[in-house]
Amino acid sequence: MDLLNIIEEIEKVDPEFQEKISPRRAAIKNITSFGSKVAVAALPFALGSLFKKAYAQQSTSAIVGVLNYALQLEFLEANFYNAGLTSTTFATMKAGLSASELAGLTLIQTDENNHVKYLQGVITQLGGTPVNFTAANFDFTAKGTFPMVYTSSDIWLAVAETFEDTGVRAYKGQATALLRNKTVLTAALNIHSVEARHASHLRMLRRARGVSIKPWITGANDTGIGTSVNASYAGEDNVVQGPVTITNLPGVSGNTSVNAATEAFDEPLTMPQVVQIVTPFFK
């Protein structure tokens, strides 16, 4: 193992790495003069300790940033359900929901509000300042894209489904940014799985109402409400995972179909993609 080459490669990815570990870098370079005094087996531990010291502060800051990004999305969802199920503005829309539909949606509302409270607590414990939004900060018509969201239960459910589908992909897209804190990563993955169940439930509600849709995403245009929210499903038509083209794999009868290939894997969304999707819903 060439430790100096490893450091040089890291510097290519992170130009500030040398400054972060200085003056430790000089000490690391002197390892080569230790000869047999330093066991090769000990080098990974020394390197791990070095990274921990160099990136500890940066990691916490980065994690808080990701959590505030997640919190912003959770505020959007929580306020959407709070308004839809309790505000008089949505009274006409709510009247179009059955008792069983309302029962399930109320549970989702509770989940989303709990996600907000949880993320606020974690950010505070990490020494950060949680972002904050109120009902006044949102425009659920998305600047007029969904003008009937206040009166049509079908449109409201479609927007809710899109929020949940987007949330699932948003959490997946930031998983690697939380790798340095296993506790936070585990909690984020727990939220991710709940968001996925929300999305599936909403898809089933809409399917029961006659919308041609499955409980899972198929391809990159799977909303049932036209192309105005296609950005939420961008990349879901991907049929290549790692080095494998899924459509080349044998299926039940012949090779795996494109639909089956896209349904078998969920794709992440980057932070800029998600910001672009949700920005119209913020005033």
Tell me the CATH number at 213.
1.20.1260
Q: What is the mean pLDDT of the chain?
A: 83
Helix axes 43-86, 99-125, angle to 10 degrees: 140
104 closest CA partner among 225, 204, 207, 215: 204
Does 52 reside within a domain? no
Exposed e or buried b for every residue in 245-270, given b needs 16+ CB within 10 A? ebbeeeeeeeebeeebbbbeebbbbe
Q: Are residues 30 and 75 in the same domain?
A: no
In which domain, by residue range, is 269 found? Answer: 63-281
pTM, two decimal places: 0.78
96-125 per-position pLDDT tens digit: 999 999 999 999 999 999 999 999 999 999
| CB-based contacts of 133, cutoff 8 Å, min separation 6 | 72, 75, 76, 79, 282
Q: Is the pLDDT reported for residue 248 higher than 90?
A: yes
Q: Are residues 127 and 166 in the same domain?
A: yes
Q: Are residues 103 and 16 in the same domain?
A: no
69-85 per-position pLDDT tens digit: 999 999 999 999 999 99
Does 211 reside within a domain? yes
Q: Are residues 84 and 150 in the same domain?
A: yes
Q: Is the dihedral of CA 186, 188, 191, 197 positive or negative?
A: negative
Give the pLDDT score at 40.
Answer: 47
Q: Are residues 152 and 82 in the same domain?
A: yes
Q: Are residues 145 and 264 in the same domain?
A: yes
Q: Are residues 15 and 69 in the same domain?
A: no
> How many domains are contained in the chain?
2
